[in-house]
Amino acid sequence: MGQYQPALLRRYNPDDIARHYRYRPWQIWGRLLRIIWSFAGFILSLKFDEWQNQVEQNKKQRATQLRELLTRLGPTFIKVGQALSTRPDLIRKDFLEELIKLQDQLPAFDNVLAYQIIETELARPVAEMFSELSPNPVAAASLGQVYRGRLVSGEEVAVKVQRPNLRPVLTRDLYLMRWVASWLAPWLPLNLGHDLTLIVDEFGTKLFEEIDYINEGRNAEQFAHNFRNDPRVKVPSIYWRYTNSRVLTLEWIHGFKLTDTQSIRAAGLDPEEIIKIGVTSGLQQLLEHGFFHADPHPGNLFAMPDGRMAYIDFGMMDQLEETTKETLVDALVHVVNKDYNDLAADFVNLGFLTPDINISPIVPALEAVLGNAIGKNVGDFNFKTITDQFSELMYEYPFRVPAKFALIIRSLVTQEGIALSLNPNFKIVEVGYPYIARRLLTGESAELKRRLLNVLFKDGKFQWQRLENLIAIARTDGSFDVLPTAQMGLQFLLSAEGQFFRQQLVLALTEDDRLHTAEVQRLWNLVKDDIQPNRLLNVAIAMLTDLSREGAAAILPKATSFMPFSGNQSPDKN
């Protein structure tokens, strides 16, 4: 096997990196001393403030000092700071506000060098590819910077150029982080459920994916495909002829950052509608597509003048399995319905608790935390409150946060923070739960239909109030049509697969030795305005037709088995 070089490593591999540096300590000691010296000076500053009783007076100065320290240490530490900037449960508010600036307020590298990288990577002079290209970057991030330009064919584009010598720098820093993590893990008061070095490895894997611009382009196209039928979501097109692993050329997005409320309102847009697009598209990513944007900070989301919301920067993405998506739906419904026993089981299924754990003492703890966070009103729920409460629960009970869910939590908390900046009274569940209700009521898969019926039956009894609540909540924005849902539900109940639930529904209607006509009347009053006689007749005819076809399909094979062969037919010789 050839000599390993950090610059040639395409995927993060801690073993290869360790083998390289084990025999080259002179390549890392200088960097390690610089990191230690930088953080030692910062910690001493904090201690000095405590000794002098000047913590309050100097807290803004110390927050700025931390941001500048991470910026000086380079891309790896900037990415760490960005991750921490979305964790209000770990970072105090003054530090949080300063670390948020790491998202898009970073120093650029030399423009001459950036132009050289473009020409070297794409193997053509800039003038042959672009009729215009800004002399300075319009944005600088931790891993690269962006120029605004126009292709010779006329399309307006953004050109993303990776910082020079990036891969060797990240490789060295990740090796040092992993080495320090292996020493510090036993001394840190963290209930992680696994080795701290695994967190560094997950961070390294995602970081190496993020610096591969070909991977980012493919992510963007998959994301666009998932939202191809949603006219509210915009994804920029990728120009592959002008893209490789270190240069990415994509469609220029005209819009306003979601935090720029003044420009959004000046363009005649309603910030509330933009919030709804952001929340519902975020839930669609998690609960429908399973492929989600894991870095939705304000610099990556734009409100467009035509009312659409645009996503950019698809370097940090992740994929959820089908069972995980369905369990997430369960967990959200159980939170809202305050079914804490079922919620504890969901935490086991999602990997927050090990299967062998006794969940009995955990259930009242969940009830105390979530009951207090949600209060009497579902609309009082917010993710920041939940993460604050759970950060305390993590130390008392054997919870752990799987790496994938750390990204999901980050995504949800960030999106909620953006929404709160647009509307301080924003409640994420007021937008999110109607989507979840519609998702359950219109579930296209048999598994989702079963989940709906499991929600409606508890302890062998039909929960009439839950069905009323789901329908009422689903109809809050006027986009829910109850008739197709009713048709789908009846078809499922009349099918062989729905036999068990059909029996349960009959029992529910005659429960306690009485017909539940009052409950049925309330449901009818809720939906009668949506059900017009002519539509109801068309649905009935369609259902009868489907049932006739199914019956014919079932009878036909039996009938044909008794039909004699005609003169033109021959039996199967086998």
List the catalytic residues.
295
SS3 350: helix
SS3 429: helix
Give the separation between CA 292 and CA 112, rounded to whole angstroms.
35
Residue pair 403/199 in contact by the 8 Å Cβ criterion: yes
Token representation of residue 217: 């382009």
Give the separation between CA 255 and CA 263, rounded to whole angstroms.
9
Provide the sign of the torsion angle of the four alpha carbons 164, 66, 196, 362, taken in this order: negative
> Which residue in the block uniquely carries the two structure tokens 């669609």?
284
Give Cα separations from 185 to 170, 207, 525 (angstroms). 21, 22, 60
Helix axes 446-456, 322-337, angle to 10 degrees: 20
Residue pair 530/481 in contact by the 8 Å Cβ criterion: yes
Give the separation between CA 536 and CA 544, rounded to whole angstroms.
12
SS3 145: strand
Kind and range of the H or E run holding 301:
strand 301-303
Instruction: Identify the CA nearest to 316 among candidates 421, 405, 215.
Output: 215
Residue pair 400/352 in contact by the 8 Å Cβ criterion: yes
Give the separation between CA 34 and CA 29, rounded to whole angstroms.
9
Instruction: Identify the CA nearest to 520 among candidates 493, 544, 486.
Output: 486
Helix axes 29-51, 166-184, angle to 10 degrees: 60
Give the separation between CA 104 and CA 139, rounded to whole angstroms.
7
Q: What angle do CA 258, 259, 264 make, to 5 degrees?
A: 60
Token representation of residue 333: 């419904």
Give the separation between CA 547 and CA 57, rounded to whole angstroms.
75
Strand partners, 144: 162
Give the separation between CA 270 and CA 278, rounded to whole angstroms.
13
CB burial class (10 A; 0-12, 13-18, 19+) of residue 309?
A: buried
For every residue of 235-291, which 3-state class applies, written as one string?
CCCECHHHCCCCEEEEECCCCEECCCHHHHHHCCCCHHHHHHHHHHHHHHHHHHHCE
